[in-house]
Amino acid sequence: MGYKDVYDAWKSDPEGFWMGAAEAIDWDRKPSKALNDSNAPLYEWFTDGMVNTCYNAVDRHVAGGRGEQTAIIYDSPITGTKSTISYAQLQERVALLAGALQAKGVTKGDRVIIYMPMVPEALVAMLAVTRIGAIHSVVFGGFAANELAVRIDDAAPKAIIAGSCGIEPGRVVAYKPLLDGAIEMASHKPEFCVIFQREQSPAELIVGRDFDWNDVQEGVAPADCVPVEGDHPAYILYTSGTTGAPKGVVRPTGGHLVALNWTMKNIYNVDPGEVFWAASDVGWVVGHSYICYAPLIHGNTTIVFEGKPIGTPDAGTFWRIIEEYGVKSFFTAPTAFRAIKREDPKGEFVKKYDLSGLRGLYLAGERADPDTIHWAEEMLKVPVIDHWWQTETGWTIAGNPMGIEHLPIKTGSPTVPMPGYDVQILDEGGNPVGADTLGAIAIKLPLPPGTLPTLWNAEARFRKSYLEHFPGYYETGDAGYIDEDGYLYIMARTDDVINVAGHRLSTGAMEEVLANHPDVAECAVIGVADELKGQLPMGFVCLTKGVNRPHGEITAELVKMVRDQIGPVAAFKLALVVDRLPKTRSGKILRATMVKIADNQEFKLPATIDDPAILDEIRVALQTIGYAKG
Ligand code: COA
Ligand code: AMP
């Protein structure tokens, strides 16, 4: 069967398609049906099944004879450490940590926040939480205490599991002070914390609240897997939206297992036992789906890589790992390849390694630019597969299903919709448009298994953000078009989300920080094009009347504020003081026009602009920092 047959088979019988895929999962009680549409337009999958995530990711492989197979390879060039964990060892470790959590009162439905660097213990913690039916929420290490506090208040965790530190090139990031600061700031207080001590910066523990990772497991009984309902949340992952308040994407247990397992062969073309590597971070959805869950559910070997594409120690690190561990499919963000290409354009490092075992490179998280794709193809001599998805969906919306059929690649397109997704391009009125016509990308409801059923504690926001604009559809927030051959093209976001080095950030959240500066009367943050990171945030501020401090002093304070309140990952380093911001006559800031000026793109003067002269002022200001040179 080719792609078209599989897609059509799904379309003509979605229920049969997903019930078939569900056969590959070990259920404690098999679901009687796949889709539950009793509460449409909110949908659930496998509602009456009973199942456990950790059992399917770990225990069943030990029972099935994979106990001695390596489950996790840990390779940390940044600390000079390598180790492996077999499925049998993983089962033991996860059951013990789960037992410790259970002994301290964590039960089904309780939330546990995980704030860990890229060490295998991060996966152990995630699996231990799902083992007992609790719900984890992993927070990326590059976020500041304030962002962690917002998530603590929203998820209201009973416990927090944290590493004592993360390690970035040239600096150790002590997590414990950030954790303490966040708990101090939050109104909700966790009952206890478990701290994984790292020798690079062990943390001081607060007696009575904090417990050492090893000590807390001492003498406890290992926990069994707790079966949960198919729609029980496995985890919550916060992601950026239009405002500063992040959205808590809920991932339901049954659909997550079924869908991720299906993707491993059909999309990533790996068989159980083979090595699969996603170079991302457990704090992002790619890390959840493709460092932790999917490879383990499918019985693959996964790699936890603690390092960067360049500088740890050089631009050959990725190739070394691919050779050393026999990686078959490799997944990363285009920005990582841009970084390597910049450092090693002729691929001198590539030549030093034997990459003949690699079958494909998969790129996602941001637009894959043709230059990067062509360079990667030339260097690696394997298909370079762009695929498009989001935190909300948890797995590919559009891609090239390599395990079914290698469809011809059209550079600039992530190829075609996967089974489960009826992707349509809509005009402002919600009507489907013809081929090659730009519009909002929407997915006809219901979304497939594994995608978000709602936002944590925020059903009204879920409806408003995704379902209301185009009734009957899920609004992706991306704009693009579909060509005559059915290939999809992703062109831009339709909201205030930007993508910086493959990291999803909200310009609205940054504006909220800038607006808090006492000298700032008004502000706007936009995403400008960047050769390495894809986009970079840039802030424009108008000062309060009467303020006449040096502008450099104020912008330095603004940069520091964003770093302290959102985190270094925001990469907010560009700020400009201007007299006025361009607006429509109704007062809406013309951010999209500002982006066009900064990026030297042609634009039509908005008909509703209040005072076109302001655009020239913006251009002049941009020129002082090397942008908008024309
Ligand atoms: N903990 C603490 N700080 C972190 C962090 C973490 N987990 N991750 C990033 N940061 C910090 C960085 O140290 C940097 O700090 P600095 O301003 O002091 O230099 C800042 O956040 C910005 O990070 P980043 O945008 O990643 O830039 P970089 O210059 O450090 O690295 C790349 C650039 C391209 C090498 C890097 O972004 C990369 O490897 N990207 C891959 C993308 C990826 O994995 N995306 C995940 C989705 S698939
Ligand atoms: P995240 O939720 O962090 O995965 O970010 C999702 C957003 O990143 C999408 O809505 C797109 O805007 C962008 N994105 C992800 N993958 C791609 C891709 N392959 N091509 C273009 N944009 C992408």
Residue nearest to atom 3 of ligand 2 (CA): 504
Please list the alpha-helical segments (H only) found in 344-439. 370-380
The ligand placed nearest to the CA atom of residue 368 is 2
- Distance in angstroms (rounded) separating the CA atoms of residues 320 and 370: 25
The ligand placed nearest to the CA atom of residue 178 is 1
Model pLDDT, residue 251:
98
SS3 41: coil
Asked whether the predicted pLDDT for residue 630 surpasses 90, the reply is no
Q: What is the mean pLDDT of the chain?
A: 97
Residue extents of the structural domains in the chain: 501-623
Asked whether the predicted pLDDT for residue 245 surpasses 90, the reply is no
- Distance in angstroms (rounded) separating the CA atoms of residues 596 and 600: 6
Answer yes or no: is the C-beta of 386 below 6 A from any ligand 2 atom: yes
Mutate to test the pocket of ligand 1, among 335, 391, 572 (most ligand atoms within 8 A of CB): 335
For domain 501-623, give the fold. GMP Synthetase; Chain A, domain 3 (3.30.300)
At residue 629 the predicted structure's pLDDT band, cuts being 50, 70 and 90, is confident
177-187 mean pLDDT: 98
Model pLDDT, residue 317:
98
71-89 mean pLDDT: 98
At residue 242 the predicted structure's pLDDT band, cuts being 50, 70 and 90, is confident
User: Tell me: the pLDDT tens digits for 90-131?
Assistant: 999 999 999 999 999 999 999 999 999 999 999 999 999 999
The total of other beta-carbon atoms located within 10 Å of residue 405's CB is 14
Q: Measure 336 CA to ligand 1 centroid, in angstroms.
A: 10
Share of the chain above pLDDT 90, in %: 98
451-472 mean pLDDT: 98
The single-letter code of the amino acid at 101 is L
What are the DSSP E strand ranges found in 310-378? 327-332, 360-363
347-369 mean pLDDT: 97
Say if residue 593 is exposed, middle or buried (CB neighbours under 10 Å; 0-12, 13-18, 19+): buried
Model pLDDT, residue 332:
98
Q: Measure 281 CA to ligand 1 centroid, in angstroms.
A: 10
At residue 244 the predicted structure's pLDDT band, cuts being 50, 70 and 90, is confident
Q: Measure 498 CA to ligand 2 centroid, in angstroms.
A: 9
For the chain, state the CA radius of gyration: 24
Position in ligand 1 atom list of the atom nearest CA 140 = 7
User: Tell me: the pLDDT tens digits for 548-586?
Assistant: 999 999 999 999 999 999 999 999 999 999 999 999 999
The total of other beta-carbon atoms located within 10 Å of residue 351's CB is 12
Q: Within 6 Å (CB) of ligand 1, which residues are found?
A: 141-142, 166, 168, 173, 280-281, 284, 286, 308-310, 333, 335-336, 339, 365, 500-503, 533, 568-569, 571
SS3 615: helix
- Are 488 and 415 within 8 A, CB to CB? yes
454-458 mean pLDDT: 97
Answer yes or no: is the C-beta of 366 below 6 A from any ligand 2 atom: yes
195-211 mean pLDDT: 98
At residue 243 the predicted structure's pLDDT band, cuts being 50, 70 and 90, is confident
User: Tell me: the pLDDT tens digits for 369-428?
Assistant: 999 999 999 999 999 999 999 999 999 999 999 999 999 999 999 999 999 999 999 999
- Run of H or E including 399: strand 398-399
Model pLDDT, residue 25:
98
Half-sphere exposure for 596 (CA within 13 Å, toward CB): 13
Residue nearest to atom 5 of ligand 1 (CA): 142
The single-letter code of the amino acid at 555 is T
